[in-house]
Amino acid sequence: MATDANCIFCKIIAGKIPSKKLYETDKTFAFLDIGPIAPKHCLVIPKYHGAKLTDIPDEHLQELLPIAKKLAKASGAEQYNILQNNGRLAHQQVDHVHFHMIPKPSEESGLV
């Protein structure tokens, strides 16, 4: 498994940096975002380290969307964004591939 000793998300996968884990398989890890832009904002990452989507072998990408879908359902939000940024111009800050799952609370929910 490709890892990078200096990568924050590789350290989270290894348990060297604490996180609120939501889901884990042999290839994938999901956890709450430390700076949520909405309640239950979470991240789904491959355990295989790579900065951009194009750096990750297909077999390490296959579970990411199904798990993001599970987390979207589990959040209870009817509306949500799934986002994946590649490169600084595309607003990527952490160079380990990640999908954001960002619930969009409705006005009726009382959360906005």
Binding site partner of 33, from Zn ion, ligand 5GP, none, Cβ cut-off 5-8 A by kind: ligand 5GP
Residue 53, contacted partner among Zn ion, ligand 5GP, none, CB below 5-8 A by kind: none
24 vs 78 by CB, closer to Zn ion = 24
Q: Phi then psi for 92, rounded to 5 degrees?
A: -80, 130
Strand-pairing partners, residue 82, are 101
Give the SS3 label for residue 46. strand
> For residue 82, what is the enclosing H or E element?
strand 80-83
Point out which residues bind ligand 5GP (CB under 6 A): 8, 17, 19, 31-35, 85, 91-94
Output DSSP code: residue 36. Answer: -
- Check 49, 96, 98, 100 and give the catalytic one: 98
Residues that bind Zn ion (CB under 5 A): 4, 7, 9-10, 49, 96
* 96 is a catalytic site residue: no
Cα gap 112→108, rounded to integer Å: 8
